[in-house]
Amino acid sequence: MTQIRLRGAVAPLRRPGATQRRATVDAMVAALRPEEPLHCLRPQAVTDAARAFVAAFPGDVLYAVKCNAEPAMLRAVAAGGVAHFDCASDAEVRLVRSMFPGAAIHFMHPVKSRAAIRAAWAQHGVSDFVLDADAELTKILQETGGGDLGLVVRLALPKGSAAYDLSGKFGAAPAEAAALLRAARPHAARLGLSFHVGSQCMDPAAWTRALALAAEVIAAAGVAVDIVDVGGGFPVAYPGSTPPPLAAFMAAIRDGAALLPPGVRLWAEPGRALVAGGASVVVQVQQRRGDALYVNDGVYGALSDAGAPGFRFPHRLVRAGGDPVAAVARDFTLFGPTCDSADVMKGPWTLPADVREGDWIEVGQLGAYGTALRTAFNGFDRAHVAEVSDAPMLATAGYDTAAPARAA
């Protein structure tokens, strides 16, 4: 009889020996001399950021697991006081439930498979589900049989100015969202309305405007709403891009929340804001051609955002063995290891002028999506992971950190 096997696309990150944990990045590189990408995790930075966000936000904080599902990062988020998790798939639900049996899990993807709904409801105790269409509401009710359901309607927002606009795929228009609230109310122990202003949104007023629109939709629906989920999108610092402090976003949310009916509970789904500073990736230079450096990770690996989106990341040269490094710097372009010519990261990456084969480059602010977006293209799916004790390469503006950031 033929058996069907499930296979993940990406090999698990591999950990060095326990005796090498908690070293600095430089010490880790000197000891391992890694020839594959090395993900350096900073759990304390994640815990500090999570604690600051939980203290500042006037409601429940749901960590967006899709941003980084590495178990060490999940534990660090939980250590910062986060007890709610925003999951988008059956695999994320299973992972969180296996690690945190008592956690509150919310299935926040607006379009889910029937199998995923059944498993979340029957096997993992998930009762909160997002929807943005009548068909999804019907699916949820059929697969759960009703009961203690939390039903959250995703509201579409107008296109905004966030780095990643999320207005085109999910969300019901205001009139449709009001109708969905009315349809869901008889079946919901908890009824909510959610939105997302877009990822890496630098404008605090975007949340005020979205909450004003949410208040209009709730009024048009004419039914009691228990929850408004302000989504994620909270930004962090990257080179050349410093967001307003966390307090500015919280003030804008409070201003908008004042327009909501009394007693509405707020949720938020931060991801990048909690984990961006919590990891860097060390890549090795495999060849130099003038101002082009060929390295062992790229846009099909941890550096996806450095490709077409053009995100700039803090970076520095790491040269093991104590050899001197040129005092003069120059700008480089990085090429990843795959055969695709689109595997290019233009930067510019400013590094010592004498960078050479065998050197390493540490790239920071990759706790957000660096691990999550890895693929197995061309077979380049192997990487190491280690926990280190040094501070993030770049301060995450607006979030308290335990130690000052190192210079990029």
Does 392 map to a domain? no
The answer to whether residues 240 and 342 belong to one domain is no
User: What residues are paired with 80 via a beta bridge?
Assistant: none
Q: Which CATH number is 348's domain given? A: 2.40.37.10
H or E element at residue 107: strand 104-107
Tokens standing for residue 80: 């910062």
The last residue of one of the domains, among 275, 308, 338, is 275
Does 406 map to a domain? no
Does 378 map to a domain? yes
**pLDDT tens for each residue of 8-45:** 667 667 776 544 566 899 999 999 999 999 999 999 99
Backbone angles phi, psi at 79, to 5 degrees: -65, -25
The answer to whether residues 130 and 261 belong to one domain is yes
Task: Give pLDDT, residue 19.
Answer: 41
The answer to whether residues 366 and 303 belong to one domain is yes
The answer to whether residues 180 and 101 belong to one domain is yes
Q: Is 339 exposed, middle or buried (0-12, 13-18, 19+ CB in 10 A)?
A: exposed
Q: Which CATH number is 205's domain given? A: 3.20.20.10
Task: Give pLDDT, residue 321.
Answer: 83
**pLDDT tens for each residue of 67-121:** 999 999 999 999 999 999 999 999 999 999 999 999 999 999 999 999 999 999 9
Residue 176: CA count within 13 A, CB half-sphere: 14
The answer to whether residues 200 and 92 belong to one domain is yes
Does 398 map to a domain? no
Residue among 365, 134, 139 at smallest CA distance from 272: 365
Task: Give pLDDT, residue 408.
Answer: 43
Does 336 map to a domain? yes
Residue 224, domain extent: 43-275
**Contact (Cβ atoms closer than 8 angstroms) between residue 150 and residue 192:** yes
The last residue of one of the domains, among 224, 249, 275, is 275
The answer to whether residues 255 and 287 belong to one domain is no
Cβ-based neighbours of 288, under 8 Å, separated by 6 or more: 294, 355, 356, 357
Amino acid identity of residue 61, one-letter, is V
User: What residues are paired with 281 via a beta bridge?
Assistant: 39, 363
The answer to whether residues 33 and 84 belong to one domain is no
Alpha carbon distance 405, 239 (integer Å): 13
- Cis (ω within 30 of 0) for the bond into 348? yes
Quote the pTM value.
0.92
The answer to whether residues 289 and 345 belong to one domain is yes
Output the CA–CA distances (angstroms, integers) from residue 374 to 76, 131, 176, 183, 236, in the order listed: 21, 28, 36, 40, 21
Is the pLDDT at 399 greater than 60? The verdict is: no
The answer to whether residues 83 and 139 belong to one domain is yes
Amino acid identity of residue 262, one-letter, is P
Say which residue the tokens 């498993």 belong to. Answer: 119
**pLDDT tens for each residue of 298-339:** 999 999 999 988 899 999 999 988 889 999 999 999 999 999
**Confidence tier at 403 by pLDDT (50, 70, 90):** very low
The last residue of one of the domains, among 275, 301, 334, is 275
The answer to whether residues 77 and 189 belong to one domain is yes
Name the more confident of 400 and 165. Answer: 165
Does 1 map to a domain? no
Amino acid identity of residue 238, one-letter, is Y
The answer to whether residues 169 and 185 belong to one domain is yes
Does 405 map to a domain? no
Does 400 map to a domain? no
**pLDDT tens for each residue of 159-189:** 777 666 766 789 999 999 999 999 999 999 9
**pLDDT tens for each residue of 265-279:** 999 999 999 999 999
Tokens standing for residue 86: 């925003």
Question: What do you get for the CA distance between the two ends of the chain, in Å?
Answer: 57
Alpha carbon distance 367, 238 (integer Å): 12
User: What residues are paired with 191 via a beta bridge?
Assistant: 151
The answer to whether residues 61 and 108 belong to one domain is yes
**pLDDT tens for each residue of 211-246:** 999 999 999 999 999 999 999 999 999 998 899 999
Domain total in the chain: 2
